[in-house]
Amino acid sequence: MELIDGKKVSDTVKQEITQKVTEIINNGGKRPHLAAILVGNDGGSITYVNHKVKACEQIGFTSTLQKYEDTVSEEELLAKIAEFNANNDIDGFIVQLPLPKHINEQKIIEAIDPTKDVDGFHPVNVGKMVIGLPCFKSATPAGIIKLLSFYNIETSGKKCVVIGRSNIVGKPMSVLLSQKGYPGDCTVTVCHSRTQNLAEECAQADIVIAALGSPEFVTKDMVKNGAVVIDVGTTRVPSDKTKSGWKLKGDVKFDEVSPKCSYITPVPGGVGPMTIVSLLQNTLDAAANK
Amino acid sequence: MELIDGKKVSDTVKQEITQKVTEIINNGGKRPHLAAILVGNDGGSITYVNHKVKACEQIGFTSTLQKYEDTVSEEELLAKIAEFNANNDIDGFIVQLPLPKHINEQKIIEAIDPTKDVDGFHPVNVGKMVIGLPCFKSATPAGIIKLLSFYNIETSGKKCVVIGRSNIVGKPMSVLLSQKGYPGDCTVTVCHSRTQNLAEECAQADIVIAALGSPEFVTKDMVKNGAVVIDVGTTRVPSDKTKSGWKLKGDVKFDEVSPKCSYITPVPGGVGPMTIVSLLQNTLDAAANK
């Protein structure tokens, strides 16, 4: 069993991006600039955004963090998005989700200029991804693809089961893995809450992508010997062993599943770190495409 | 075994649309208007476009057919698209594919105003379809969805195998059938040229969507008893029994497969007629959304 070290891969990619930023600056170019809009005081959202800002500093990007109280109006957010769209110094920006209920999330997403939509959530980018055109790919699926290729994991003709059909992970993951080329050419099955015999489906898979958000859902009887298991779950569960009072749990029961795997991602330290570097990579691409 | 009669369903839908057009006119509204751009002299393309124009006449739509020689420049086509985009009388329009090699097909598709893109090929519509937002769905997948619901075929929790991963059928079909709700909630597997054990995968399916374009590919050993088989194939094969010298062949070996099925679509007369009515339905929706 080999552990897929997301921290190591993300550090490698960050070094590559840092190198490219240095080249851009040495050639008289502009520092790539990622902006983020954060609404409210959700602990998870604040942590994610802070990680993103910190990562920008590490690799030499400019970053802007625009915070709002959760009472902010939709109009105010849309005005800020219009401002970021028009601001030539900003190469890409994100609006950290989820947003308060009084704000139409989809309207916010669609207000972002697709050429600056480095989260890859705009319908244009989702559509281009499905069609197989150049686009900003959603960060988590793009990160998983990078992990598979970094470890030279064979995908062509492999049976892949994606558990979960969310717009930000399950659906794009299934599309990317079934597309022509590497990493891709998998025979992909998407499983979800209505799937019958999910354990049986899963047990046939060469590659399992667990992205349902249910801690320790995938058990050893659901995984065949030698499978590659990618755990996208990051549920906060109470813990008396951490200062914060919680810890992250994946969708896979790691202790019992990992001995059966050829490769497996841990939680934390697997897919998580890749999500941020995909966002940075998208921002670098956005800057290059201008 | 029940034959899914695409002709009958399409006639029913056409009658419903005709009724709605009459209501629109009686209420002082404008006749829905579908325009088509046809380039070159490909026999198949001419036939398809003529069918579309004829269907418009049948149901009371206005139609416009703009023909070009296959020497037309990309600029000329783009200018016509801009004109159609700006023409308030035209509710929806299509550019019949394929286009000659000197024209960038994707550029043409993306030039169409997404609100008039009744073929549902624009990335915005593809993306919205994947996200589950209101959009113009690609005509063939939308037609298949309509067939399943017309015959009240159960889909929730069913195992569905889609053979083929094309942008206009395989991919959207897999997305629509795995989405929440009816017809949907299937456990969908996408099979393609790189799939190992395709016959075995297929033989496990409650619903088979054959969309690979290979005549009589699906044989009886690949289909389980009681399966629903939807045949999207329409390959022209030589025939000495028709005046034209060819006939349409599906992807399914109908004679031997049909006795095993609970439902099956014939070729011709199954999915084919539905494609055009989906286009008409999209045009009606485009007119209503203005």
Summarised one tens digit per residue, pLDDT across range B159-173 is: 999 999 999 999 999
Q: Does residue B266 sit in the same domain as residue B155?
A: yes
In the predicted model, what is the mean pLDDT of residues B230-244? 92
pLDDT tens-digit profile of A176-231? 999 999 999 999 999 999 999 999 999 999 999 999 999 999 999 999 999 999 99
Tally of domains in chain A: 2
Which is it for the CA torsion A5, A227, A183, A137, positive or negative?
A: negative
The pLDDT, as a whole number, for residue A244 is 87
Residue A126 within a domain:
no
A131: in domain:
no
Compute the half-sphere exposure of residue A185: CA atoms within 13 Å on the CB side of its CA: 13
pLDDT the model gives residue B225: 98
- What digits encode the pLDDT tens for the residues A56-80? 999 999 999 999 999 999 999 999 9
Say yes or no: A173 and A86 in one domain.
no
Q: In Å, how far are A132, A169, B110 from B124, measured between CA atoms?
A: 14, 19, 9
CB A130 within 8 A of CB B171: yes
In this predicted structure, the answer to whether residue B155 has a pLDDT above a threshold of 80 is yes
Give the per-residue pLDDT at B29. Answer: 95
Question: Would you say residue A238 lies in a domain?
Answer: yes
Residue indicated by tokens 């003529």 = B50
Q: Are residues A36 and A150 in the same domain?
A: no
Residue of chain A whose alpha carbon sits nearest to that of B189: A189
Q: Report if residue B165 sits inside a domain.
A: yes
Task: Identify the band that residue B244 occupies on the pLDDT scale cut at 50, 70 and 90.
Answer: confident
Which residue is catalytic, options B5, B14, B52, B251? Answer: B52
Instruction: Give the domain-ending residue among A63, A96, A113.
Output: A113
B262 in the same domain as B198: yes
Q: Which two tokens stand for residue A207?
A: 């590659």
pLDDT of residue B290 exceeding 80, the answer is no
Does one domain contain both A56 and A177?
no
Are B61 and B172 in the same domain? no
For B127-139, what is each residue's pLDDT tens digit?
A: 999 999 999 999 9
pLDDT digits (tens, 9 = 90+) for B184-205: 999 999 999 999 999 999 999 9
Q: Closest residue of A to B106, CA-based? A: A133
Active-site position among A5, A14, A52, A171: A52
Phi-psi region of B265 (alpha: psi -120 to 50; beta: other; left: phi over 0): beta
Residue A159: per-residue pLDDT: 98
Pair B160, B249 in one domain: yes
If asked whether residues A104 and A173 sit together in one domain, one would say no
Tell me: do A98 and A157 sit in the same domain.
Answer: no
Co-location of B177 and B89 in the same domain: no
Check if A281 is active-site.
no
- Of B13, B58, B59, B62, nearest in space to B33 by CA: B62
Instruction: Residue B201: list chain A partners with CB under 8 A.
Output: 187
Is B57 inside a domain boundary? yes
**No. of helices (H) and no. of strands (E), chain B:** 10, 11
pLDDT in tens, A33-56: 999 999 999 888 998 899 999 999
pLDDT for the residue numbered A89: 97
Rounded distance between C-alpha atoms, residue B87 and residue B112, angstroms: 12
Q: Per-residue b/e over B49-71, b at no fewer than 16 CB within 10 Å? A: beebbebbeebbbebbebebeee
Mean pLDDT in residue range B92-116? 97
Give me the numbers of helices (H) and strands (E) for chain A, helices first please. Answer: 10, 11
SS (H, E, C) A218-244: ECHHHCCCCCEEEECCCEEEECCCCCC
Q: ipTM of the predicted structure?
A: 0.94
Percent pLDDT > 90 in chain B is: 95
User: Percent of chain A beyond pLDDT 90?
Assistant: 95
- Mean per-residue pLDDT, A271-283: 95
Per-residue pLDDT at B274: 95
CB contact under 8 A, B106 and A133: yes
Question: Percent of chain A beyond pLDDT 70?
Answer: 100
In the prediction, which pLDDT does A44 show?
A: 83
B186 and B92 in a common domain? no
Q: Which residues contact A282 (CB under 8 A, 6 or more apart)?
A: A92, A118, A119, A120, A136, A137, A139, A142
* A146 pLDDT higher than 80: yes
Name the residue range of residue B247's domain. Answer: 139-274
| CATH number for position A266 | 3.40.50.720
Contact between chains at A187 and B195 (C-beta distance less than 8 A): yes
Domain annotation covers residue A19: no
**% helix / strand / coil in chain A, to the nearest 5?**
45, 20, 40
CA–CA distance, B63 with A178 (Å, rounded to integer): 38
Q: Which residues of A touch B159 (CB under 8 A)?
A: 196
How many Cα atoms are found within 13 Å in the side-chain-facing hemisphere of B142? 23
In a domain, A13, yes or no: no
Contact B269, B234 (CB under 8 A): no
Nearest Cα to Cα of residue A234 among A265, A282, A279, A268: A268
Q: Taking 90 as the threshold, does the pLDDT of residue A134 lie above it? A: yes
* Residue A270 clears pLDDT 80, i.e. is over it: yes
Residue B289 pLDDT exceeds 90: no
How far is residue B213's CA from residue B196's CA, in Å, rounded to a whole number? 18
Q: Is A43 within a domain?
A: yes
Q: Are residues B108 and B160 in the same domain?
A: no
Option in A128, A156, A189 nearest B188 (CB)? A189
Q: What is the CATH number of the domain that holds A84?
A: 3.40.50.10860
Residue A136's closest CA among B170, B117, B125, B127?
B127
Contact yes or no for B156 and A132 at CB 8 A? no
- Give the Cα separation of A208 and A26 in Å (integer): 43
pLDDT value of residue A154? 98
Contacts of B132 in chain A (CB under 8 A): 167
Helix/strand/coil (H/E/C) assignment for every residue in A68-111: ECCCCCHHHHHHHHHHHHHCCCCCEEEECCCCCCCCCHHHHHHH
Using only the alpha carbons of chain B, give its radius of gyration: 19
Would you say residue A82 has pLDDT above 80? Answer: yes
**Hunting for tokens 């031997």 — which residue is that?**
B256
